[in-house]
Amino acid sequence: MIIGPRRVALIGAIVAVVLTIIFYPLLVETPFNPDDVTIQLSKVTLASGSEGEQKLDLGISLNVTNASDYTLTTSKIEYELSANGAPVGTDIISYEDIPPNGRPAFFPKKSVTIPDTFTLEYSDKRADLFNKILNGSGDITWKITGSATIESGTSQKEKQFSSEL
């Protein structure tokens, strides 16, 4: 059986489309610098919890500023939260199961706030911190350190960050 010229052209077009889909991300990379993205702790508030409970939910707000010329997004932010120099726990903000067009967009030369809820478990070592949070004391120095996966349409890079409030 001989393949006709129309079928050869059709097969060639299909192969070209498949190869383009496979190799496009390898050939084209958005040349952004992860240092153009800054992540800062902007607010820590008591979201819920009371004196009788063994945990407090803290509202964490991260301010992400994109100083690059490209629209970027994130798939994951991992961080460790400290209060007055003592670590209180770690958390992950994950958008990995969300398609890129549903993730928070970091537009060029703009800032966006990413909220998170951090659950602080009670322990005897944290009793003083618990009381300060419940009493609304403003003399808590919060520090956050971590890493974020910053992505463009065709590339992703890790960004380390640290911020104090």
Q: Give, for all 165 residues of the chain, the pLDDT tens digit.
A: 678 888 889 999 999 999 888 887 767 777 788 899 999 999 988 888 777 778 888 999 999 999 999 899 999 999 999 988 889 999 999 999 988 888 999 999 999 999 999 998 888 888 888 888 888 777 889 999 999 999 987 788 999 999 998
Pick the CATH number of 30-164 from 3.40.50.2020, 2.60.40.10, 2.40.50.140, 2.60.40.1820: 2.60.40.1820
| pLDDT of res. 1 | 61
Domain ranges of the chain: 30-164
Phi and psi angles of residue 96, each rounded to the nearest 5 degrees, phi first: -65, -30
Read off the DSSP letter of residue 89: E
| pLDDT of res. 16 | 92
| pLDDT of res. 162 | 95
Cα dihedral 41→43→44→48 (10° resolution): -140
Say whether pTM exceeds 0.75: yes
Q: Give the side-chain half-sphere CA count within 13 A for 2.
A: 2
Centre a 10 Å sphere on the Cβ of residue 151 and count the other Cβ atoms it contains.
20
